[in-house]
Amino acid sequence: MSVRKNGARASILIVTLWVLGFLTILVVNLGFMVRTQLQFADHLQDRIRMYYLACAGVERAVAELYADEEKNTDALNESWANSEDFFKESPMGGGFITVSYNTTGQPGEEEVALYGAMDEAGRIDINKVPLDVLATLLENIGGAGTDEALDIAACIVDWRDKDVAVSAGGAENEYYQELSSPYGCKNGNFQIAEELLLVKGMTPEIFSRIKDVITVYGTEQVNINTAGFDSFYALGLDDSLCEKIIKFRQGSDGLPGTEDDYVFKAPQELMNVGSLFTKEATQINSLISRNMFKVKSDTFRISSLGILENARGQRSRGVVCVISRQDEKGPKLLYWHEN
């Protein structure tokens, strides 16, 4: 009888141990799931906070653009274009905001970070500039051969114009429909720069060289107060003349976006950058006569980061947008991208 009792007790003990083991595993798994869910919720909350910090950076840049007291010119030494106090790791809402972009000076110099909004009019607008400027851009900056550059430029013009007539060296709908993966010729403006990769003759290598010099949100005119070396060179100015302009504009400290920068009040002031050879003066006068230069802008790119720091380190989330500054209205949003 005692043997049966002992056997029953042993069975009960074994079942109890199995139940306890199962409950232990269940509790451990439940704890892990809860911890994972809490971490996910914390991560999601941080992402939302970083997003709104980035949006706050955009709003701060827009406010600074509208607070611009210089109504006749826009230049890199204005607070909207370069102000570390406003735009570099500025504390806000338990985190930080940084609004910045890179600019280059003379060839061989490293890129310099400026803190603020970037002027889109410092770039070449592929929707507006004429065929010869596109060809010069593709040759001088993109590294294409002269004939190749002219053909690609013609294809760009055919892509953006509204007619179906094929330019010399260009391509219209018939070419694109005969590709292995056919698509139509747009016959309209480029909406994003990457659309260039659909154009006949454009290669990823050429695009990678020109992508930081082009825009689809500007005008035919380039702002000589904010354009970089590559933009001047893409317009057909000799490299030595481009260097003269950049060096003259940067002032005695040789840095962009500082107080001693020279601000051009009119395109004709480009003739004051130093002693010019006849060829250089002719190049400047030619572009001025074609109305290719201006000194004020209306469209700006804002790259804003929302930053949080905690025990896990520093994390950030970014927003890139392009806005049109309209004097009598609020800003018009042209482009918005989150990353």
Three-state secondary structure along 205-237?
HHHHHHCCCEECCCCCCEECCCCCHHHHHHCCC
What are the structural domains, with CATH classification, of the chain?
A: 1-123+218-339 (no CATH), 129-210 (1.10.40.60)
Banded pLDDT at 19 (limits 50, 70, 90): confident
Q: Which residues of 119-134 are buried (b: 16+ CB within 10 A; e: fewer)?
A: bbbbbbbbbebebebb
Whole-angstrom Cα distance, residue 197 to residue 177?
A: 16
Whole-angstrom Cα distance, residue 73 to residue 124?
A: 19
Whole-angstrom Cα distance, residue 302 to residue 289?
A: 32
Say if residues 291 and 221 touch (Cβ distance below 8 Å).
Answer: yes
- At 38 the pLDDT is 56
- At 269 the pLDDT is 97
Q: Which of 63, 140, 118 is nearest to 256 (CA)?
A: 118
247-271 pLDDT per residue, tens: 999 999 999 999 999 999 999 999 9
Is 34 a residue whose pLDDT tops 70? no
pTM tops 0.75:
yes
53-109 pLDDT per residue, tens: 999 999 999 999 999 988 899 999 999 999 999 999 999 988 999 999 998 766 667
Sequence-ordered strand ranges (E) for 46-159: 90-92, 95-99, 101-103, 112-114, 118-119, 124-125
Three-state DSSP string of the chain: CHHHHHHHHHHHHHHHHHHHHHHHHHHHHHHHHHHHHHHHHHHHHHHHHHHHHHHHHHHHHHHHHHCCCCCCCCCCCCCCCCCHHHHCCEEECCEEEEECEEECCCCCCCCEEECCCEEHHHCEECCCCCHHHHHHHHHHCCCCCHHHHHHHHHHHHHHHCCCCCCCCCCCCHHHHHCCCCCCCCCCCCCCCHHHHHHCCCCCHHHHHHHCCCEECCCCCCEECCCCCHHHHHHCCCCHHHHHHHHHHHHCCCCCCCCCCCCCCCCHHHHHHCCCCCHHHHHHHHHHHHCCCEECCCCEEEEEEEEEEEECCEEEEEEEEEEEECCCCCCCEEEEEEEC
Mean model confidence pLDDT for the chain: 91
Q: Which of 238, 290, 288, 295 is nearest to 265 (CA)?
A: 295
Banded pLDDT at 7 (limits 50, 70, 90): low
209-259 pLDDT per residue, tens: 999 999 999 889 999 999 999 999 999 999 999 999 999 999 999 999 999
What residues does 125 pair with on adjacent strands? 215
Percent of the chain at pLDDT exceeding 90: 77
Angle between helices 146-160 and 131-140 (to 10 degrees): 130
280-296 pLDDT per residue, tens: 999 999 999 999 999 99
Banded pLDDT at 3 (limits 50, 70, 90): low
Q: What is the mean pLDDT of residues 30-51?
A: 72
Percent of the chain at pLDDT exceeding 70: 91
- Residue in the block written with tokens 């057909």: 236
